[in-house]
Structure 1
Amino acid sequence: MLLLGLLSLLGTVSAGAINDFTCRSTTHPNPVVLLHGLGATWYEDLNYLQAFLAASDFCTFASTYGAYDAFPFLGGLKPINDSAAEIASYIRTVANETGASKIDLVGHSEGGFQTLYVPKFEAGIADLLDTLVAIAPPTHGTTFAGLYDLAYVLGNVSRTLVGEALDILGCPACNDLGPDGPAVLRLNDGDPIVQSGNRLTVIASTDDELVTPTQTAFVDETGVRNEYVQATCPLDPVGHIGEAYDLNVWNLVLNALEDTPEREFVCVLGSPGK
């Protein structure tokens, strides 16, 4: 019902479309690839945001990454490196099929992390990308609301054991994205995260209960726009999951994609979405 109501307010999708390689937009020539979060899929997480952007005349594309063949209903579980290779392949496919010279990338949670990780480590991908928007990325690792603090009860030895357990249980990405996780350490290796020619906006919520502390989402590099939802919409109590479904967040994403950060919009109350 939310999607139907939204589309009725925005009007009929014209040039914009969802997962349609024939789509071309004169107002937004860069196709947008959206990356879901941990445990989600392309059709459950950023699907409403994808429809919002399509209705705003963007050509949008999404695919589930990091899912095991025997259980395709939960994506993003595989090691970050493995998922990054899948995502890079999909970006190349979108570029080849649409003929676009540049792609924009929008990700939520783990997808936000991949929005930073893929252009840095997958050869040639940064050259295909233009605007990057990372929603609630665990850029510097997350304590998962303090849960990971327990992993250090016995120091680094217990953290290693927790990581090995997560790998065995089928969620290497959970290990990768925790404090001192392999992918987190690699991303923050001292070299710039944002690659030449790419423009990054990071969107976070002060009420995010999973990417904690919340400021760890931000990328402290010249030219990066780091913003809390509440800086624009102070009454929005949106939580981590809710950031994918929040109209205020969608408008901030739209501002980033259109490079109109000062564009004003009417804030809604939002939902904690925890």
Structure 2
Amino acid sequence: MPNRLRRAAAVLIAAVLLTASATAATTANAAPSSGVDNWSCKPSAAHPNPLVLLHGLGGNGPGNYSFLGPFLAAKGYCAFTLTYGQATPAIPVGGTVSIAQSSAEIQAFVQQVRQATGAAKVDIVGHSEGGFQSIYGPKVRGYAGQVGKVVALAPPTHGTTFGGLVSVGDYLGLRPLVDQVLQQFGCPACDELIVGGTAVAKLTAGPIAQPGVKYTVIASRFDALVTPHETSFIREPGVTNKFVQDTCPLDPVGHVGLAFDPTVAQLVANALDPAHASRVVCAFGPPL
């Protein structure tokens, strides 16, 4: 991909995913009342694995999981977020540094959660780049033995061509702001997540799914960022791949909206606890 197109892709993917952190300014310092980021939480017998929630590129933990985090905590999970891969602490935007640097931060956070809760394993829920990291870390960094389940929402597993980004970015009106951020700090992760990117090559060299980990990958047919849509899927034993529209054909949810869609939230909860799965009531997720 020419540098000009890579640059445009980097700007626009961050533009879209910044919407996921829009509420972070009001939630980042809030007391944990919902069970999210409550470091005194101890896992129950029903949900022995605490959850590690990984945000997307250009987002942050509190913003990206302002809906899905409390939803899962209300079901009895100990759920924890972090903002990984920040280029500077002054700006609450994560995931822009190299995939390797972010994955090291995430691995350390997994250990922190395990130590605080006394759990042998965690389950990981990741969105977009966070979905990629939820798959990348257990394989490349070698901590699959500490992970029970992975639920990845639209991860660019095999890289993305960033199809349709211009209209999405322009519609959101965020392109100038993100361009300013990226001009100052750059975005190594952006180049690493395209088709043929270095992180993608490392993840897809040999089997992706790790023994002992149960994977669920959820994508939307209306995703305008991670394209082609099936690039998210892992066609290997032990992996469940599904489109939101397989369950709810009329749900128009887009890439960012996956983290804010009640339909997707129930699909995630069912993937984490299939023995007690609930009927999915179809909703209409944000189409962005």
Instruction: Give the TM-score of the pair, scaled to structure 2.
Output: 0.79
For the residue of structure 1 that corresponds to 2:150, the secondary structure is: strand
Which of the residues 200, 212, 236 maps onto 2:215? 200
Report the Cα distance in structure 1 between the residues aligned to 2:203 and 2:146, rounded to whole angstroms: 20
For the residue of structure 2 that corresponds to 1:132, the secondary structure is: strand
Question: Is 31-40 or 62-71 further displaced after alignment?
Answer: 62-71
Which of the residues 150, 173, 176 maps onto 2:189? 173
Deviation at 1:103, TM superposition (A): 0.5
Aligned residues between the structures: 240
Report the Cα distance in structure 2 between the residues aligned to 1:168 and 1:222, rounded to whole angstroms: 43
The aligned residue for residue 76 of structure 2 is 57
Which of the residues 127, 136, 139 maps onto 1:117? 136
- Structure 1 ranges of 4+ moved more than 6 A: none
Q: Which structure 2 segments of 5+ residues have no match? A: 1-32, 167-181
Report the Cα distance in structure 1 between the residues aligned to 2:93 and 2:279, rounded to whole angstroms: 36
Deviation at 1:167, TM superposition (A): 10
Report the Cα distance in structure 2 between the residues aligned to 1:214 and 1:46, rounded to whole angstroms: 22
The aligned residue for residue 10 of structure 2 is none
For the residue of structure 2 that corresponds to 1:18, the secondary structure is: coil
Instruction: Give the TM-score of the pair, scaled to structure 1.
Output: 0.83
Do the aligned partners of 1:46 and 1:108 also contact (CA within 8 Å) in 2? no
Q: Which has the higher helix share?
A: 2
Which of the residues 157, 168, 171 maps onto 1:139? 157
Q: How does 1:1-274 map to 2 (within 5 A)?
A: 17-24=35-42, 25-123=44-142, 125-145=143-163, 170-189=186-205, 191-260=206-275, 263-272=278-287, 274=288
Report the Cα distance in structure 1 between the residues aligned to 2:69 and 2:116, rounded to whole angstroms: 19
Question: Is 40-49 or 222-231 further displaced after alignment?
Answer: 40-49
For the residue of structure 2 that corresponds to 1:47, the secondary structure is: coil
Report the Cα distance in structure 1 between the residues aligned to 2:248 and 2:123, rounded to whole angstroms: 25
Does the C-alpha gap of structure 1 residues 54 and 91 become closer, same or farther in structure 2, counting only changes over 3 Å?
Answer: same
Identity %: 49
Report the Cα distance in structure 2 between the residues aligned to 1:270 and 1:42, rounded to whole angstroms: 20
Write out per-residue CA displacement over residues 66-119 of structure 1, whole angstroms, 9 at most, x where no aligned residue.
002354311000000110000000001100111101100000000000011000
Q: Which has the higher contact order (CA 8 A, sep 6+)?
A: 2
Do the aligned partners of 1:139 and 1:218 also contact (CA within 8 Å) in 2? yes
Do the aligned partners of 1:199 and 1:224 also contact (CA within 8 Å) in 2? yes
Write out per-residue CA displacement over residues 202-252 of structure 1, whole angstroms, 9 at most, x where no aligned residue.
000000000000011100101210000000011100000101101101000
For the residue of structure 1 that corresponds to 2:215, the secondary structure is: strand
